[in-house]
């Protein structure tokens, strides 16, 4: 149980393109989803926390107008990187949690490369 | 600033030995503690979680929590080359469900 699916797994696109990443909880209802970014040889950095039906809460230093998060249902959250530039190239990982105090389960991640 | 610290390693152990990974945290109000394994280029996968002081065992893995000393450790018995990965410690801060991750310890199990 507790499977989180993330799509796409790999994106290569030109600078200025907007990229949408989907995160789905397949066998449970995710009351909260989290979006992380991981640069090479570094740990995961939380970008934002998303609760179904409400606005995402962004961490300090993360531009909410650049990283648009939508959590329209209990099984789906999306992250859109708008007007992506090479410095946005990174490994983006979502996670989901169902009830309080339960572990977060991670998607497989999306490797984003902006040329 | 609330922090979670791990030795970055690499920690090298021979096959069959016990690997001991440690993590300290600064927020005394932290409630929940998690160990994730991350292979290179992959996303983290949950190994264990622990909420109460003491030991929790699951197969070859044992998590140990000492809230008074603010550390949590992970023991891997009978280490296998397939255990070679980065092990991430995550702690939830008091009053939230957000994780604070340590920087991870790279484990190498030598065949």
Give A58-115 pLDDT, tens digit per residue: 999 999 999 999 988 889 999 999 999 999 999 999 999 887 667 999 999 999 999 9
* A2 within 8 A of A89, measured Cβ to Cβ: no
**Cα–Cα distance measured from residue A63 to residue A61, given in angstroms and rounded to the nearest whole number:** 6
Cα-to-chain-centroid distance, residue B51: 13
- What is the distance in angstroms between the Cα of A109 and the nearest Cα belonging to chain B? 6
Assign B66 a pLDDT band (cuts: 50, 70, 90): very high
CB proximity list for A50: less than 8 A, separation 6 or greater: A32, A33, A34, A35, A56, A57, A69, A70, A71, A77
Q: Kindly tell me if the per-residue pLDDT of A4 is higher than 80.
A: yes
Q: Is A107 on the interface with B (CB under 8 A)?
A: yes
B99: chain A residues, CB-CB within 8 Å: 34, 44, 46, 104
Supply angle C-alpha B54, B3, B11, rounded to 5: 70
Assign B1 a pLDDT band (cuts: 50, 70, 90): low
Q: First and final CA of chain B: distance in angstroms?
A: 40
Report the 10 Å Cβ neighbour count for A79: 25
A104: chain B residues, CB-CB within 8 Å: 34, 46, 90, 99
Tokens of B109: 């199990």
Chain B residue nearest residue A98, CA to CA: B97
DSSP helix/strand/coil, A89? coil
**Cα–Cα distance measured from residue B63 to residue B36, given in angstroms and rounded to the nearest whole number:** 12
Give B13-64 pLDDT, tens digit per residue: 999 999 999 999 998 888 899 999 999 999 999 999 999 889 999 999 999 9
Structure-token match 């030995």, residue found: B17
Cα-to-chain-centroid distance, residue A74: 15
DSSP category for residue B93: P
Cα-to-chain-centroid distance, residue B91: 10
* B17 within 8 A of B79, measured Cβ to Cβ: yes
Q: What is the mean pLDDT of residues B84-93?
A: 94
Q: Kindly tell me if the per-residue pLDDT of B93 is higher than 70.
A: yes
């Amino acid at each position: 149980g507790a499977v989180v699916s993330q799509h796409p797994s790999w994106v290569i696109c030109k600078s200025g393109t907007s990229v949408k990443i989907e995160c789905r909880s397949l066998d449970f209802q995710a009351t909260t989803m989290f979006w992380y970014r991981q640069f090479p040889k570094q740990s995961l950095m939380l970008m934002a926390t998303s609760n179904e039906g409400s606005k995402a809460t962004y961490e300090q230093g993360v531009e909410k107008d650049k990283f648009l998060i939508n959590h329209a249902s209990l099984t789906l959250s999306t992250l859109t990187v708008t007007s992506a530039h090479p410095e946005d190239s990174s490994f983006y990982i979502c996670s989901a949690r169902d009830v309080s105090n339960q572990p977060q389960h991670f998607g497989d991640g999306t490797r984003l490369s902006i040329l | 600033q609330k922090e979670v610290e791990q030795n970055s390693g690499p920690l090298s152990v021979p096959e069959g030995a016990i690997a001991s990974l440690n993590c300290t945290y600064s927020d005394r109000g932290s409630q929940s503690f998690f160990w994730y394994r991350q292979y290179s280029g992959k996303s983290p996968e949950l190994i264990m979680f622990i909420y109460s002081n003491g030991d929790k065992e699951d197969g070859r893995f044992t998590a140990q929590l000492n809230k008074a000393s603010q550390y949590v450790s992970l023991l891997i018995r009978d280490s296998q080359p397939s255990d070679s990965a980065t092990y991430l410690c995550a702690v939830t801060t008091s009053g939230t469900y957000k994780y604070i991750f340590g920087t991870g310890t790279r484990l190498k199990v030598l065949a």
